[in-house]
Chain A
């Protein structure tokens, strides 16, 4: 099956335009995400459509400044409509915003379809973008001086560069104000940091990137880039600054992967060329990147959380086994592997866990086994003593200080013994000052 050859003049520019659009969207998207206002991003990106279409039909021009002006007018009109609905008619804020922006979006669609007969405006391009066509629609610059080398670049590149630069500069210069306004608007207002002004600035940035990016990735997919890349960055970092830097990096990855998939995958199913939408696959890749980050990210990643949970369970199983062996030796009883299995099964831990715990203890040289009988080594005894010590200290503490009946303290102490460090144990020891637990058993010393 023939795979189209990658050419830098076409594929290179497509990837660059996609990456620039993603990067530009990721910055205001990050601020919306941490502000908890991604919905407002949705609203603004949809509400600008009638303004863009109106400007285009009225002036028959795709001048970015005209479009931005039209977008700003309809964006602000939409927000005003939402406020009027919310205040005057007492509609819920989310519902008011939803009604207003979908109405505006519908008006935009009608304008585009009506206008499409007379002017060069393709509805599907507006909605889904035409990333593949970006290299064709180019502008030429004379470099350095008249008569110098002339280069030709896609028209989307300077437009997106300006939007990206504006977002980057605003986030750099007003970083602390944006962060404060997003985190605690009440405090920001109290110290005179103008959170409303900051919200307006954010809305303006969103409107700007959606105007700049809609031609290449389409007005619907802008929403995907606004949301997915910042959400993925959140999975990788717990600091806004780092998230803002990660966003553009993830955008490059999404653009490269998205375009590759758009070119490489459809030929596997169809003979027709051009059955692809690089913008669509780029949005899809952004979603997959988010999924990957959610699974594998540090701290919040699901895989790591599961692994940590499992580690904890294994440690608890080891400590339970140490305690079992200690108590048996205290009573002069021999312990066989079957006893351990039975003990673990009654504790609902399971047979496999008991096998793992036994192996793990012998690897650490804490137990020796002969003829299926297990015995603690000297270092094993030391570890077991710590567990028993915190268990019995807790029992004493709960019985003496918390006035819990002695026959009720075992279960609580069995849970607490696994989370008690040396410091806490020492503190317990000074508070209870006991040498015997409530059942009259010796509390091991350190």
Chain B
């Protein structure tokens, strides 16, 4: 008679950890004692375009930052191609939200794109002409060849977003993390970005994008994660992005968890004050 366990003998997902582009296990992140991501288990399959979808404040950007090791985690681990992020840093490219930087900064578009090559160049060494040439050709790929020498503040919002994408391309990574790449961009920029992401997937790379627009999620992604504090559902878009799952993600089912989170926050703030 087989032994019956309350818990599985192996950690769930551990056997896929090396296969998955990114494998997240038991991840919890809290700000001020209030959990913003709660017990996340996720596998992002290699070579797919994955969308992270959820309402405002669901923890979508925090999830990306947790993968990048930029927020302190309460528990859990993140594996990139089977090893820790610190060991695999060079495999990961990152496109932050456009609003996260000051676009009046005195720098040219081509210099921003070249920043993607800094890990290859190394500390204390200058940016060579070859790198600048490469940055120009990458700008050409996103349709901005003419604007390479322009100060970034004199580009439109869509063009700025394409500069950020070009910088990520310069990183020559395997996994691309994008935070709202299609937020308030013009139609032609959206086309360019989706085109480039399609090419990347064709080359076998993995794309993970935080996405706000439910209407376009189905046609943009082949893998979807519905997130609201917890993972509501994750899997191939066709079976995951169902009306029932969307309703659970955006609906009021989680009020008890949210209240519990708020209670934890208040307890924490009383504790430290």
**Residues of chain A whose beta carbon lies under 8 Å from any beta carbon of chain B:** 34, 36, 88, 90, 173-177, 179-180, 182-184, 186-187, 189-193, 234, 237-240, 243
Does the CB pair A34–B92 fall under 8 Å? Answer: no
CB distance from A169 to the nearest CB of B (A): 11
Starting from the known contacts A180-B115, A183-B102, A184-B96, 12 additional A-B residue pairs (CB-CB under 8 Å) come to A90-B273, A177-B118, A182-B105, A183-B107, A186-B70, A186-B96, A186-B100, A187-B94, A190-B92, A191-B116, A193-B118, A239-B151
Counting CB contacts under 8 A, is B112 at the interface?
A: yes
User: B108 an interface residue at 8 Å Cβ cutoff?
Assistant: yes
> Given A36-B102, A191-B118, do A177 and B107 touch, yes or no (CB 8 Å)?
no
Contacts A184-B96, A187-B115, A191-B171 hold; do A240 and B123 have CB atoms under 8 A apart? no
Asked whether B101 is an interface residue with its Cβ less than 8 Å from the other chain, the reply is yes
Task: Find out whether the CB atom of B107 lies under 8 angstroms from the CB atom of A175.
Answer: no
A61–B8 alpha-carbon span in the complex (Å): 71
Chain A's nearest CB lies how many Å from the CB of B85?
9
Q: Is the CB of B70 within 8 A of A174?
A: no
In the complex, are the beta carbons of B115 and A190 less than 8 A apart?
Answer: no
Q: Are A189 and B70 in contact (CB under 8 A)?
A: yes
Given contacts A176-B118, A238-B151, contact A187 B106 (CB under 8 A): no
Q: Any chain A CB within 8 A of the CB of B127?
A: yes
CB distance from A241 to the nearest CB of B (A): 9
A187: which B residues are within 8 A, CB to CB? 94, 96, 115, 167
A234 to B151, CA, bound (A): 12
Question: Which of A177, A184, A189, A238 is within 8 Å of B68, CB to CB?
Answer: A189
Q: Are A239 and B118 within 8 A (Cβ)?
A: no
CB nearest neighbor in B for A175: B126
Q: List 8 A-B contacts (CB under 8 A).
A: A36-B102, A180-B115, A183-B107, A184-B115, A190-B92, A190-B94, A191-B116, A238-B153
A239 to chain B: closest residue by CB:
B106
Give the residues in chain B near A186, CB-CB below 8 Å.
70, 94, 96, 100-101
Q: Which residues of A contact B252 (CB under 8 A)?
A: none
Residue B56 is within 8 A (CB to CB) of chain A in the complex: no
Of residues 95 through 117 on chain B, the ones whose CB sits less than 8 Å from some CB of chain A are: 96, 100-102, 105-108, 111-112, 115-116
* Closest A-B pairs by Cβ, 9 of them: A238-B151, A190-B94, A238-B106, A184-B101, A190-B68, A183-B105, A186-B96, A191-B119, A240-B106
Chain A residues whose CB sits within 8 angstroms of the CB of B118 once the complex forms: 176-177, 180, 191, 193
- B141 beta carbon closer than 8 Å to chain A: no
State in angstroms the CA–CA spacing of A173 and B123 once bound together.
Answer: 9
**Nearest neighbor of A87 in chain B, beta-carbon distance:** B272
Contact of B107 among A36, A191, A192, A240 (CB under 8 A): A240
CB distance from B75 to the nearest CB of A (A): 22
A238-B116 Cα distance, complex, nearest whole Å? 21
Closest chain A residue, CB of each to CB of B269: A90
| A290 CB → nearest B CB, Å | 16
| Interface residue range, chain B | 20 to 34
- What residues on B are CB-neighbors of A90 within 8 Å? 273
What are the residues of chain B within 8 A of A174 when measuring CB–CB?
A: 123-124
Q: What residue in chain B is nearest A186 (Cβ atoms)? A: B96
Q: Are B105 and A34 in contact (CB under 8 A)?
A: yes
Interfacial chain B residues near A238, Cβ < 8 Å? 106, 108, 151, 153
CB within 8 Å of A: which B174-213 residues: none
List of B residues within 8 angstroms of A192 by Cβ? 89, 119
Chain B nearest CB from A162 CB (Å) reads 21
**B70, B106, B167, B171: which contacts A34 (Cβ < 8 A)?**
B106
- For the complex, what is the distance from the CA of A240 to the CA of B171, rounded to whole Å? 23
Residues in chain B near residue A175, CB distance under 8 A: 126
- Residue of A34, A182, A186, A240 ringed by the most chain B CB atoms within 10 A: A186
A179–B107 touching, CB < 8 Å: yes
Cβ of B153: which chain A residues have Cβ within 8 Å of it? Answer: 238
Interface centre among B108, B118, B126 (most CB of A within 10 A): B118
Contacts of A191 on B, CB cut-off 8 Å?
Answer: 89, 94, 116, 118-119, 171
**Chain B residue at minimal CB-CB distance from A190:** B94
A177 contacts B123, C-beta separation under 8 Å:
yes
Choose one: B70, B115, B124, B127; the contact of A173 (CB below 8 Å).
Answer: B124
Across-interface contacts of A243 in B (CB, < 8 A): 106
A180 nearest CB neighbor, chain B only: B115
Residue of A nearest to B112 (CB): A183
B121 is an interface residue with CB less than 8 A from chain A? yes
Between A36, A179, A189, A240, the greatest number of chain B beta carbons within 10 A of the residue's beta carbon is seen for: A179
Q: Which residues of B, 63-105, contact A by the 8 Å Cβ criterion?
A: 68, 70, 89, 92, 94, 96, 100-102, 105
Q: Cβ of B121: which chain A residues have Cβ within 8 Å of it?
A: 176
Of listed B68, B105, B151, residue having the most chain A CB within 10 A:
B105
Q: Report the bound CA distance from A232 to B157 in whole Å.
A: 27
Q: Which of A174, A176, A177, A189 has the most CB of B within 10 A?
A: A176
In angstroms, Cα B100 to Cα A234, docked, is 21
In the bound complex, residues from chain B placing their C-beta under 8 Å from that of A182 are 105
Contacts of A240 in B (CB 8 A): 106-107
Within 8 Å CB of B89, what residues of A?
190-192
Q: How far is the CA of A238 from the CA of B118 in the complex (A)?
A: 22
Whether B70 contacts A237 by the Cβ 8 Å rule is no
Query: Separation in Å of the A174 CB from the closest CB of chain B?
Result: 7
Q: How far is the CA of A88 from the CA of B272 in the complex (A)?
A: 7
Contacts of B273 in A (CB 8 A): 90
Report the minimum CB–CB distance from B241 to chain A (whole Å): 28
Contact of B108 among A173, A193, A239 (CB under 8 A): A239
Within 8 A of A (CB), among B142-156: 151, 153
B106 & A234 in contact (Cβ 8 Å cutoff)? yes
Residues of B within 8 A of A193 (CB): 118-119
Contacts of B127 in A (CB 8 A): 176
Other-chain residue from A176, A177, A184 in contact with B100 (beta carbon distance below 8 A): A184
Q: A183-B101, A190-B68 are in contact. Are A237 and B106 (CB under 8 A)?
A: yes
Q: Which residue of B lies closest to A183 (CB)?
A: B105
Looking across the interface, which residue of chain B has its beta carbon closest to that of A243?
A: B106
How near does chain B come to A30, taking the closest CB pair, in angstroms? 9
Contact residues, B118-145 vs A (CB, 8 A): 118-119, 121, 123-124, 126-127
A29 to chain B, nearest CB (A): 14
With beta carbons under 8 angstroms apart, the residue of B70, B111, B272 that contacts A190 is B70
Bound-complex Cα distance A225 to B230 (A): 51
Distance A192 CA – B90 CA, assembled complex (angstroms)? 9
Indicate the member of A34, A183, A184, A190 with the most B CB atoms within 10 Å: A190
